[in-house]
Amino acid sequence: MDARKTTFSAPGKIILFGEHAVVYGHPAIVTAIDLRTKCRVSKSLQNEVQLSISSDYLFNEPSTGLKKNYIVSKEQNGFITQDSKNEQPLNPAYYFVTKKILDLATSKKYPHIHINSEIPPGIGLGSSAASAVATLASLSTFMELEFSMKEINELAFEAEEIIHGKPSGVDNTISTYGGIQLYKEKKFSKLSIPNFSSYVVIVNSGIPRNTKTYVEKVAKSLEKDTSKYQNILEEIGNLTLIAKSSLIEGNIQKLGKLMTQNHLLLEKLGVSHPILTELTNSLLQLGSVGSKLTGAGGGGCVIGLFENYQKANRAVEEMKSRGFQAFISSLAERGVQVEQ
Ligand code: PMV
């Protein structure tokens, strides 16, 4: 890491295969996408940690240029308070990241953290992990802590634990290292896919959801009927390994079929939603070779794999005409990186 630079960005992600099963030690295939969160750190002009968050979300129509300011209050047990203009509470991950860094810092130099994100929050595209990763990288250079990538990844995982309870670590890992990865139990291998010429359409169902709730829902189902739900998770794990081979071979048709099968298994797991299934069916009708929900489920996004750009583009326009937010995502090779 270049110790002189204090502006970093980190990507969001989509899970192509294996969500939920990955929490129980099965593999997942996940890819970074070209939506990023940027963090710049400058010296705070007050003797306090300051945080300014602005968003340039992909789906802001027109861009609202939202801006929120926070200060780390030592009086209130270190909680970050809202300033008088703010109505929304702060994502606890920021609190964790800021406090952790200050605890680790030897020379206390108060940072002013400026975040700008293109990743819409709360729809399963990894916005919280990207924020944590970019912030950790920027603060690390500003405080001259010089964290390695591994340390950034591990600290971002701790931030994810605060938000999600029992995360697999997939979001922070992909945001740190980028690319397409096979991820299993905190270990990952980047997949080299020279023949992957296809397009992923992401559609936001607009249904709010919460990762923690759905991870807990699966945990409860497992408690109630262990063998049934263990079998489903195992099937998802097996299917993910087959998908890895199809991806490497560039067999897009097969990959698509496996995606649709993965969606059916997620339905059986009880984490889908009628609208998500309707959207996956619509994408299939619009020429997608495979479609599934992505992320924790219950709402959020679905993805469709297309072999042909025109078809993907038509599907996006059709989804938009039905009132859904949709776009074609490019896969991002770069994880956390310094910005000019
Ligand atoms: O919806 P997201 O982006 O938070 O993804 C959650 C993925 C899960 O497998 C359900 C949980 C996890 O930590 O891997």
Domain with residue 148: its CATH number is 3.30.230.10
Q: How far is the CA of 83 from the centre of ligand 1 (A)?
A: 31
Regarding whether 46 and 97 lie in a shared domain, the answer is yes
- 77 pLDDT higher than 80: no
* Mean pLDDT, residues 76-102: 56
If you ran DSSP here, which 8-state letter would residue 124 be given?
S
Q: Model-level pTM?
A: 0.90
Give the residue from 182, 185, 38 showing the smallest Cα distance to 113: 38
* Mean pLDDT, residues 307-331: 94
User: Where residue 209 sits, what CATH number does that domain have?
Assistant: 3.30.70.890
Q: What pLDDT does 86 receive?
A: 47
In three-state secondary structure terms, 339 is coil
Regarding whether 153 and 269 lie in a shared domain, the answer is no
Residue 30 in contact with ligand 1 by CB distance below 6 A: no
Regarding whether 257 and 282 lie in a shared domain, the answer is yes
pLDDT digits (tens, 9 = 90+) for 263-280: 999 999 999 999 999 999
Residue nearest ligand 1's atom 3 by CA: 124
Host domain of residue 323:
201-329
- 85 pLDDT higher than 60: no
Q: Which residue has the higher pLDDT, 191 or 101?
A: 191
Beta bridge partners of residue 202, listed in sequence order: 303, 327
Residue 22 in contact with ligand 1 by CB distance below 6 A: yes
Q: What pLDDT does 2 receive?
A: 45
- 340 pLDDT higher than 70: yes
Q: What pLDDT does 146 receive?
A: 87
Residue 219: pLDDT band (50, 70, 90) is very high
- Rounded to 10°, the helix 252-269/274-285 angle is 160
Which atom of ligand 1 is least distant from the CA of 297? 1
Residue 335 covered by a domain: no
Regarding whether 174 and 36 lie in a shared domain, the answer is yes
Residue 149 covered by a domain: yes
Residue 179 in contact with ligand 1 by CB distance below 6 A: no
Q: What pLDDT does 68 receive?
A: 63
With vertex at residue 250, the alpha carbon angle to CA 301 and CA 22, rounded to the nearest 5 degrees, is: 45
Residue 190: pLDDT band (50, 70, 90) is very high
Residue 295 in contact with ligand 1 by CB distance below 6 A: yes
With vertex at residue 156, the alpha carbon angle to CA 334 and CA 337, rounded to the nearest 5 degrees, is: 25
Regarding whether 149 and 68 lie in a shared domain, the answer is yes
Q: How many domains does the chain have?
A: 2
The sign of the torsion formed by the CA atoms of 155, 161, 166, 170 equals negative
Provide the 10 A C-beta neighbour count for residue 59.
13
- 65 pLDDT higher than 60: no
Regarding whether 211 and 115 lie in a shared domain, the answer is no
Residue 124 in contact with ligand 1 by CB distance below 6 A: yes
Q: What pLDDT does 76 receive?
A: 45
Residue 20 covered by a domain: yes
Residue 338 covered by a domain: no
Residue 196 covered by a domain: no
Give the amino acid at 319: M
Q: What pLDDT does 20 receive?
A: 97
Q: Is 57 exposed, middle or buried (0-12, 13-18, 19+ CB in 10 A)?
A: middle
Instruction: Answer with the one of 190, 212, 228 that is the final residue of a domain.
Output: 190
Instruction: Answer with the one of 167, 190, 213 that is the final residue of a domain.
Output: 190
Which atom of ligand 1 is least distant from the CA of 169? 13
Residue 195 covered by a domain: no
Q: What pLDDT does 3 receive?
A: 43
Residue 87: pLDDT band (50, 70, 90) is very low
Pocket test for ligand 1, best of 170, 173, 269, 276 (most atoms within 8 A of CB): 170
Residue 20 in contact with ligand 1 by CB distance below 6 A: yes
- 168 pLDDT higher than 90: yes
In three-state secondary structure terms, 133 is helix
Residue 62 covered by a domain: yes
Give the residue from 239, 257, 245 showing the smallest Cα distance to 195: 245
* Percent share of the chain, pLDDT over 70: 84
Regarding whether 185 and 103 lie in a shared domain, the answer is yes
Pocket test for ligand 1, best of 131, 153, 215 (most atoms within 8 A of CB): 215
Regarding whether 298 and 181 lie in a shared domain, the answer is no
With vertex at residue 180, the alpha carbon angle to CA 241 and CA 269, rounded to the nearest 5 degrees, is: 50
Contact yes or no for 63/134 (Cβ under 8 A): no
Residue 336 covered by a domain: no
Regarding whether 158 and 34 lie in a shared domain, the answer is yes
Regarding whether 225 and 102 lie in a shared domain, the answer is no
Active site residues: 171
Residue 160 in contact with ligand 1 by CB distance below 6 A: no
pLDDT digits (tens, 9 = 90+) for 8-55: 999 999 999 999 999 999 999 999 999 999 999 998 887 777 777 777
Residue nearest ligand 1's atom 13 by CA: 167
pLDDT digits (tens, 9 = 90+) for 277-307: 999 999 999 999 999 999 999 999 999 999 9
Q: Which residue has the higher pLDDT, 17 or 76?
A: 17
Regarding whether 158 and 29 lie in a shared domain, the answer is yes
Q: Is 85 exposed, middle or buried (0-12, 13-18, 19+ CB in 10 A)?
A: exposed
Contact yes or no for 159/96 (Cβ under 8 A): yes
